[in-house]
């Protein structure tokens, strides 16, 4: 949501990290002849010579170019504070549909395949601190109606949402500056019966030497009393590279999340060296357990009847992205008023602010990647398994802290054996990333869905 502040990882002013939004007006060049790469449009002097239009980021490019299925180039300039010198600076995209190639100051940065989930690049050594920076993103959108091939991608070759041609940079872009030791990811695994929140942390050390640090874990209520309800500390030696660390925090008398009482906690993780706070990271979570026993659903040990509604997530003017937070708030509240306790977003992971509101307002969500099968799409190519795995892996990693997401529905209407063969493998992938659920496979070739559901 353009007007909705993301609350998951930066819910309050971060005392260490500095964040710069790159949302706003960008320039876009539509490239239906796919000649931009050969002509080096990623160089500013050449980019500036092309016929450009203005486009808002985030937005779907179909908002300004109806039914466009091809290549487009995005560009913009920006400056960064000189105080960021020596820091790690990550360029983070919320989602770009479908394949994105990135250049900064005429230097190739990297690429990402997958249209609905975040990705990032370390641009610390490419940025200029005393001059303007020029950022370019070449995007190949999903090919849905046109029989053509672009850089090896053909019609319906990639997982996509059929609600609209949601091509381009359709979620937010930002720069995040940290110290050379920083928290890469936090995942909270609730253990309701044991009254535990197990906090899993991935820490990155970009220095060339090891560092002795203390990692402080805290859990507090999101609303109401800000009292810390659980806390622990670990002292470790961080070697260069990635370190995975877990801590179990006991929460006395935990308040369980449910649609009737959507209570949220905040997990805060801090890295301290001596007296210096090096990094600080927050994520919300809920203490809840969703299981199946004897063919019935149970939420926090109590039997629940799932009253689910189909949620298209298609908006009249902005297509895939809601116009504002209040629009979504009204949608969810109307669904609850009508008696629903669950919503099934139609074949795309909702933008994170939508899940934030689902967490807060108390509506259960079925997590769906953009994999619509039936008997036509995606096309059966040698890249199929790789592309499906990208969407599932990155969706689960992005959304697994949301208590509103009660299970993962990985496929829809599987009618072809090549897709049916992937169901078990993809279920195991999702389970490895989100151990709060066990799994069962539902559906068979020709009928039904493959769902990843809790099983006690």
Nearest alpha carbon to residue 169 among 109, 119, 219: 119
Q: Structure tokens of 89? A: 């600076």
DSSP-derived secondary structure for 436-453: T-------BTTB---EE-
Residue labelled with tokens 């060296």: 273
Q: How many Cα atoms sit within 13 Å of 66 on the Cβ side?
A: 1
pLDDT band with cut points at 50, 70 and 90 for residue 11? very low
Q: What angle, 0 to 180 degrees and rounded to 10, lies between the N-to-C axes of helices 325-337 and 352-361? A: 40
Q: pTM here?
A: 0.92
DSSP-derived secondary structure for 213-247: EEEEEEEEESSS---EEEEEEEEEEE-SEEEEEEE
Per-residue model confidence (pLDDT) at position 456: 28
d(CA 408, CA 178): 33
* pLDDT average, residue stretch 32-44: 97
Residue 374 or 61, more confident:
61
Residue labelled with tokens 């230097």: 107
pLDDT band with cut points at 50, 70 and 90 for residue 292? confident
pLDDT digits (tens, 9 = 90+) for 385-433: 999 999 999 999 999 999 999 999 999 888 889 999 999 999 999 999 9
d(CA 188, CA 401): 6
d(CA 456, CA 448): 22
Share of the chain above pLDDT 90, in %: 82
* pLDDT average, residue stretch 115-138: 97
Share of the chain above pLDDT 70, in %: 93
d(CA 284, CA 279): 17
Cβ atoms within 10 Å of 88's Cβ, excluding its own: 20
Q: How far is CA 301 from the centre of its chain?
A: 29
Per-residue model confidence (pLDDT) at position 1: 54
Residue labelled with tokens 């990639």: 158
Beta bridge partners of 95: none
Cβ atoms within 10 Å of 174's Cβ, excluding its own: 17
Q: Do residues 323 and 58 lie in contact, with contact meaning Cβ atoms separated by under 8 Å? A: no
Per-residue model confidence (pLDDT) at position 220: 96
Q: Is 316's pLDDT higher than 60?
A: yes
* pLDDT average, residue stretch 358-378: 90
* pLDDT average, residue stretch 14-39: 95
Q: Is 38's pLDDT higher than 50?
A: yes
Q: How many Cα atoms sit within 13 Å of 83 on the Cβ side?
A: 6
pLDDT digits (tens, 9 = 90+) for 101-123: 999 999 999 999 999 999 999 99
pLDDT digits (tens, 9 = 90+) for 172-224: 999 999 999 999 999 999 999 999 999 999 999 999 999 999 999 999 999 87
In sign, the C-alpha dihedral spanning 317, 320, 323, 329 is positive
d(CA 347, CA 98): 15
Cβ atoms within 10 Å of 376's Cβ, excluding its own: 10
User: Rounded mean pLDDT of the chain?
Assistant: 91
With H, G, I as helix, E, B as strand and everything else as coil, classify residue 423: helix
């Amino acid at each position: 949501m353009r007007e909705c502040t993301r609350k998951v990882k930066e819910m309050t002013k971060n005392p260490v990290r500095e964040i710069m939004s790159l949302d706003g007006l960008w320039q876009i060049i539509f490239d239906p002849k796919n000649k931009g790469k050969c002509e080096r449009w990623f160089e500013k002097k050449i980019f500036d010579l092309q016929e450009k239009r203005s486009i808002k980021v985030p937005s779907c490019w179909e908002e300004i170019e109806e039914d466009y299925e091809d290549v487009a180039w995005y560009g913009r300039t920006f400056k960064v504070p000189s105080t960021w010198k020596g820091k790690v600076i990550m360029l983070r995209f919320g989602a770009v549909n479908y394949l994105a190639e990135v250049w900064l100051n005429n230097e190739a940065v990297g690429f990402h395949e997958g249209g609905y989930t975040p990705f990032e690049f370390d641009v610390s050594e490419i940025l200029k601190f005393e001059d303007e920076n020029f950022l370019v993103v070449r995007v190949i959108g999903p090919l849905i109606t046109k029989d053509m091939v672009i850089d090896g991608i053909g019609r319906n070759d990639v997982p996509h949402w059929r609600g609209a041609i949601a091509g381009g940079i359709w979620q937010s872009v930002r720069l995040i500056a940290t110290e050379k030791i920083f928290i890469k990811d936090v995942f909270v695994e609730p253990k309701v019966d044991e009254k535990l929140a197990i906090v899993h942390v991935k820490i990155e050390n970009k220095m060339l030497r090891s560092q002795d640090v203390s990692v402080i874990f805290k859990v507090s209520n999101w609303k109401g009393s800000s009292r810390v309800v659980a806390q622990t500390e670990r002292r470790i030696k961080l070697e260069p590279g990635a370190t995975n660390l877990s801590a179990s925090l006991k929460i006395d008398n935990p308040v369980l999340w449910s649609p009737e009482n959507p209570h949220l906690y905040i997990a805060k993780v801090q890295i301290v060296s001596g007296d210096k706070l090096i990094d600080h990271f927050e994520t919300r979570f809920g203490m809840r357990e969703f299981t199946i026993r004897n063919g019935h659903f149970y939420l926090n040990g109590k039997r629940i009847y799932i009253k689910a509604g189909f949620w298209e997530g298609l908006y009249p003017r902005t297509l895939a992205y809601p116009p504002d937070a209040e629009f979504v708030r009204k949608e969810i509240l109307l669904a609850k008023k009508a008696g629903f306790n669950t919503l099934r977003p139609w074949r795309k992971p909702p933008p994170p602010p939508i899940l934030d509101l689902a967490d807060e307002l108390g509506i259960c969500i079925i997590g769906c990647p953009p994999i619509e099968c039936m008997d036509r799409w995606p096309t059966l190519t040698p890249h199929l398994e790789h592309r499906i795995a990208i969407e599932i892996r990155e969706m689960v990693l992005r959304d697994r802290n949301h208590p509103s997401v009660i299970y993962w529905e990985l496929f829809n209407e599987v009618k072809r054996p090549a897709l049916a063969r992937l169901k078990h493998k993809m279920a195991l992938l999702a389970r490895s990333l989100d151990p709060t659920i066990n799994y069962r496979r539902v559906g068979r070739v020709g009928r039904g869905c493959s769902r990843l559901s809790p099983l006690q």
